[in-house]
Amino acid sequence: MTPRSTAHATFSIERTYDAAPERVFAAWADPAAKSRWFGGPDDGETEYELDFRVGGRERSRGGTPDGTVYTYDAVYRDIAPNERIVYTYEMYMGEARISVSVTTVELAPEAAGTRLTFTEHGVFLDGLDSPALREEGTGHLLDALGADLRGEKPAGW
């Protein structure tokens, strides 16, 4: 039998974007916009769907060069347009659930742009993922969002 373990962690990441909160919010809410920055570089994505509403789901499934398939399965719990997004999500590696998280994305006007605060509370399961790896990956995604908002292709994409 596989040994079971849990690691609990909370992390917050802040980014400031040179775009209005409405534009940053739209980058999360519009399926075409989100797929530009959320999928990752040539990740072999086979499936992506976004139903951006309270109770709606977001699902992304894609593979790595070694054939490992990762699935992100989220449910939106609270949406305050241009201010806040709250969702829960599970991550899978193949058929194994590797984490369960609650995430809040907060948007606030700052100068001529937006301050985004991303906070995740997660439980990482059975040593298959770690808080440090998740925080690093999330930072890359938020950087990719910034590049997209500037009209650039994210680095490494």
Judge whether residue 1 has pLDDT over 60.
Answer: no
* Model confidence pLDDT, tens digit, residues 10-55: 999 999 999 999 999 999 999 999 988 997 655 455 688 999 999 9
pLDDT at residue 44 in the model: 53
Mean per-residue pLDDT for 124-147? Answer: 95
Asked if residue 36 belongs to a domain, the reply is: yes
Judge whether residue 157 has pLDDT over 80.
Answer: no
Asked if residue 155 belongs to a domain, the reply is: no
* Model confidence pLDDT, tens digit, residues 138-148: 999 999 999 99
- Distance (Å, whole) CA 154 – CA 48: 19
The whole domain housing 51 covers 6-149
Q: What is the CATH number of the domain that holds 87?
A: 3.30.530.20
Strand duo 69-80 + 84-93: pairing? antiparallel
What is the pTM assigned to this prediction?
0.92
pLDDT at residue 150 in the model: 96
Asked if residue 88 belongs to a domain, the reply is: yes
> What percentage of the chain carries pLDDT values higher than 90?
82
Which string of DSSP letters, residue by residue, matches 9-58?
EEEEEEEEESS-HHHHHHHHH-HHHHHHHHS-TT----EEEE--STT-EE
Provide the mean pLDDT of the chain: 92
Sheet holding 96-110, edge to edge: 6-17, 113-125, 96-110, 84-93, 69-80, 57-63, 47-50
Asked if residue 157 belongs to a domain, the reply is: no
Asked if residue 156 belongs to a domain, the reply is: no
Asked if residue 1 belongs to a domain, the reply is: no
List all residues 6 or more positions away from 130 whose beta carbon is below 8 Å from its beta carbon. Answer: 7, 124
pLDDT at residue 63 in the model: 86
Number of domains in the chain: 1
Asked if residue 91 belongs to a domain, the reply is: yes
Asked if residue 78 belongs to a domain, the reply is: yes
